[in-house]
Amino acid sequence: MRGIFFYELRVQNPGAVSLATIVRSLKTLTDLKLVQVLTFDPSEMHFEAATDGEFRHYAVCSNCETLTQLKDLEQSINELMKQIEVKYGFTIQSYQLQFFGLCSNCLVKKLLEKSL
């Protein structure tokens, strides 16, 4: 599932909901860990439902904006968070972990462009 833009919410419900209401609702859902904030671009915030209580981690292609979910690394990331809490006595309340770069398709396109 892709994130939801404020803009999309407002377009789908013109006049039915204010931006302030959307922001308050998303903050509440985020606090309850039912929604995950995905910040790929400082000028835009994306949100994703976290209905299973587990946050997902992504590699984001800077060229085509494709999201690759890092499913196989979820356990490693959770273990890293536990180590931070134990080793440093730090209680993690929230975090953002996203990787930016080029997906394999965009990398191939860029390499082909250079070779021409």
Binding site for Zn ion (CB under 5 A): 61, 63-64, 66, 103, 106
Cα-trace Rg, the chain: 17
Shortest separation between residue 99's beta carbon and Zn ion, angstroms = 13
Nearer CB in complex with Zn ion: 27/110: 110
Shortest separation between residue 94's beta carbon and Zn ion, angstroms = 28
Nearer CB in complex with Zn ion: 34/59: 59
- What do you get for the CA distance between the two ends of the chain, in Å? 37
Q: Which two tokens stand for residue 69?
A: 């979910």
Q: Which of 28, 64, 70, 20 is nearest to 47 (CA)?
A: 28
Nearer CB in complex with Zn ion: 10/109: 109
